[in-house]
């Protein structure tokens, strides 16, 4: 019956241990417009039926749901459970806060150590002596020492014989580049040869 279910929900919500006052019992459900045996149905009629079948019990202040505490938690049990949940939440919050503070402190110490420790080698350029090159392995498990790299000295104005001869044959650098682009043999021919062949190929001006 709807009134009985509404009374159980009301008792659980307000922690009444199954006790319902007369005023609240008459307003738990809205049965306006319903009738029984051609007579309007009233809350008092439903309450009388619940009392007659033993589902409700009459009390000085109203009614009591029969065997309510056998199937529903009591007020004391609900309040104790709520207090336990609240206490566990407080403990969890304290533990979480301590963990965050410890983590922040540890991170701050780590950053402080990184900032406060001076760099033993402030020079940003790498030192080749710190990481010597590894020689490639050879047969027999031995390592072959790597030959030191020879650096070619910069040109100080002294050229070899072949370069000086080419500079004498090609005094005009622009002509030299032009002849190379045209596929002319600049190694065995001079600028004069290039100009003579170019004059023979191109028509003379005025013809």
* Bridge partners, 63 (sequence order): 20, 58
- Reported as a single tens digit per residue, the pLDDT across 163-187 is 667 677 777 888 878 877 877 777 7
3-class secondary structure, 137: strand
Residue 18: closest CA among 74, 60, 58: 74
Q: Is residue 139 part of a domain?
A: no
- Reported as a single tens digit per residue, the pLDDT across 74-117 is 999 999 999 999 999 898 888 887 888 887 777 666 665 555 55
- Reported as a single tens digit per residue, the pLDDT across 30-73 is 887 878 778 888 888 889 999 999 999 999 989 999 999 999 99
**Do residues 6 and 67 share a domain?**
yes
Q: Is residue 184 part of a domain?
A: yes
Q: Please provide the average confidence, as pLDDT, over all residues in the chain.
A: 78
**Do residues 95 and 66 share a domain?**
no
- Return the pLDDT at 184: 78
Q: Which residues span the domain enclosing 93?
A: 75-111
- Return the pLDDT at 154: 47
d(CA 22, CA 27): 9
d(CA 38, CA 35): 6
**Do residues 80 and 53 share a domain?**
no
The Cβ of residue 186 has, within 10 Å, a number of other Cβ atoms equal to: 19
**Do residues 98 and 52 share a domain?**
no
Contact indicator for 15, 68 with CB cutoff of 8 Å: no
**Do residues 95 and 67 share a domain?**
no
Residue 161 in this model has a pLDDT that exceeds 80: no
Count structural domains, the chain. 3
**Do residues 65 and 82 share a domain?**
no
**133 vs 85 pLDDT, higher one:** 85
Distances in Å between the alpha carbon of 47 and those of 8, 23, 54, 89, 94? 14, 12, 11, 43, 51
Which residue reads 């929900």 in tokens?
9
Could you tell me how many helices (H) and strands (E) the chain has, helices first? 8, 5
d(CA 167, CA 177): 13
**151 vs 47 pLDDT, higher one:** 47
End-to-end CA distance of the chain: 127
Contacts of 78 (CB under 8 A, 6+ apart): 15
Contact indicator for 55, 66 with CB cutoff of 8 Å: yes
Q: Is the pTM higher than 0.85?
A: no
- Return the pLDDT at 58: 93
């Amino acid at each position: 019956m709807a009134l009985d279910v509404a009374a159980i929900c009301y008792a659980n919500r307000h922690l009444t241990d199954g006790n319902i006052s007369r005023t609240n019992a008459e307003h738990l459900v809205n049965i306006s417009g319903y009738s029984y045996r051609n007579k309007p149905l009233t809350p008092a009629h439903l309450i009388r039926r619940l009392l007659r079948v033993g589902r409700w019990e009459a009390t000085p202040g109203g009614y009591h749901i029969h065997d309510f505490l056998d199937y529903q938690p009591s007020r004391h049990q609900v309040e104790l459970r709520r207090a336990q949940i609240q206490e566990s939440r407080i403990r969890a919050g304290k533990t979480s806060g301590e963990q965050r503070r410890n983590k922040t402190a540890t991170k701050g110490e780590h950053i402080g150590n990184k900032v406060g420790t001076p760099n033993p080698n402030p020079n940003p350029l790498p030192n080749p002596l710190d990481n010597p090159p590894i020689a490639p392995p050879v047969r027999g498990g031995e390592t072959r020492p790597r030959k030191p790299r020879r650096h070619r000295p910069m040109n100080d104005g002294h050229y070899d014989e072949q370069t000086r001869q080419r500079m004498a044959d090609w005094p005009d650098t622009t002509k030299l580049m032009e002849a190379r682009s045209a596929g002319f043999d600049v190694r065995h021919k001079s600028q004069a040869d290039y100009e003579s062949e170019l004059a023979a190929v191109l028509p003379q001006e005025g013809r």
